[in-house]
């Protein structure tokens, strides 16, 4: 991996310092905010459940998991719905849903940063995978905050990009990292064994070529394996940050005014 300097002197294998808070949204069972540093990919998530489920979605053997993603601007369209389906698949392995059949567990995520730009290798394009990672992490935190659904482990996600200039892999890429020719989001399920050792298992990988790079960004199995290994270490750091936050108790609420503003953003 390249050791050339990055914005804020970050190591290539490190993400921006995670920012975690629990704003205490009203009318939900749990809520959380997650962002990759100030101004980085950010999301606000809430969870309601187990709650009554509509008859058409009722399942007699387990709870129905529903994820809704709301973009920063405009109404949810095809891209937001596809992302919601992805996040549902990523978070589902961490949940024990058989304890609450014929109910609904609903996760609502409000995207707080724009990572869906259509430009070629723009800053927005670079943060597309980062926004997905922030959404996954915010959803995990909301589930932990609620404590109403048994969990098998904690899912954490990070983005990794490959620089076109030197083929170096960088975690949590941002504007100062230069042009990327490939990038992706990686999610891992972390658990602790009887001895307290942390175990991480890959639950989702999304690696793709980025248009506009000066180096061909085609699929390379070795590059993917290297990117996944780097991502696992960085996701483990996210897990440690979450564990330390919860071990010391949730951070204080950001105040009534902030909670009111967040309630308006979620519009639940």
245 lies in some domain: yes
pLDDT at 194 (0 to 100): 85
CB atoms under 10 Å from CB of 214, counted, come to 10
| Residue matched to tokens 């085609």 | 218
pLDDT at 144: 97
SS3 (DSSP) at 170: strand
Tally of CA atoms within 13 A in the half-sphere of 18 that contains its CB:
31
Say what the pLDDT of residue 123 is: 45
- What integer pLDDT is reported at residue 258 of this predicted model? 41
- Weakly modelled stretches of the chain, pLDDT under 70: 1-5, 7, 115-127, 211-219, 248-268
Domain count within the chain = 1
DSSP string, 209-231: E-TT-SS-----HHHHHHHHHHH
> What is the SS3 assignment for 236?
helix
Residue 1 in domain = no
Q: Is residue 167 part of a domain?
A: yes
**Strands annotated E in 126-197:** 154-163, 169-171, 180-192
What pLDDT does residue 107 have? 98
| pLDDT computed for residue 254 by the predictor | 41
Domain with residue 62: its CATH number is 3.30.230.70
Residue 8: predicted pLDDT: 73
- Is residue 228, in this structure, part of any structural domain at all? yes
For residue 2, being part of any structural domain is answered with no
Asked, for residue 244, whether it belongs to a domain, the answer is yes
Burial 136-150 (b: 16+ CB within 10 A, else e): bbbbbbbbbbbeebe
Residue 268 counted as domain residue: no
Entry pTM: 0.86
Q: Which domain holds residue 41?
A: 7-262
- Rg (alpha carbons) of the chain, rounded to whole number: 18
Q: How many CA atoms lie less than 13 Å away from 236 in the CB half-sphere?
A: 14
Is 185 among the domain residues? yes
């Amino acid at each position: 991996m390249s050791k050339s300097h990055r914005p804020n002197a970050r190591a290539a294998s490190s993400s921006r310092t995670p920012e975690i808070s629990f704003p205490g949204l009203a009318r939900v069972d749990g809520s959380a905010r997650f962002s990759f540093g100030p101004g980085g990919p950010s999301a606000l998530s809430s969870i309601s459940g187990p709650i009554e489920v509509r008859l058409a979605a009722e399942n007699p053997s387990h709870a129905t998991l529903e994820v809704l993603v709301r973009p920063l601007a405009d109404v949810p369209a095809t891209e937001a719905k596809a992302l919601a389906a992805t996040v549902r698949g990523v978070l589902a392995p961490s949940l024990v849903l058989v304890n609450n059949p014929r109910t609904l567990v609903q996760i609502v995520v409000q995207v707080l940063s724009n990572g869906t730009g259509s430009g070629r290798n723009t800053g927005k394009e670079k943060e597309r995978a980062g926004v997905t990672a922030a959404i996954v992490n915010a959803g995990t935190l909301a589930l932990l905050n609620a404590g109403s659904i048994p969990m098998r482990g904690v899912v954490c996600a990070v983005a990794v990009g490959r620089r076109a200039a030197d083929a170096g892999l960088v975690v949590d890429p941002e504007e100062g990292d230069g042009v990327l020719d490939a990038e992706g989001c990686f999610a891992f399920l972390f658990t602790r064994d009887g001895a307290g050792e942390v175990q991480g298992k890959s639950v989702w990988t999304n690696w793709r070529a980025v248009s506009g790079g000066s180096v061909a960004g085609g699929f390379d199995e070795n590059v993917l394996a290297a990117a996944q290994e780097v991502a696992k270490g960085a996701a483990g750091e996210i897990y440690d940050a979450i564990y330390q936050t919860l071990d010391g108790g949730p951070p204080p609420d950001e105040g009534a005014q902030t909670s009111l503003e967040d309630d308006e953003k979620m519009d639940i």
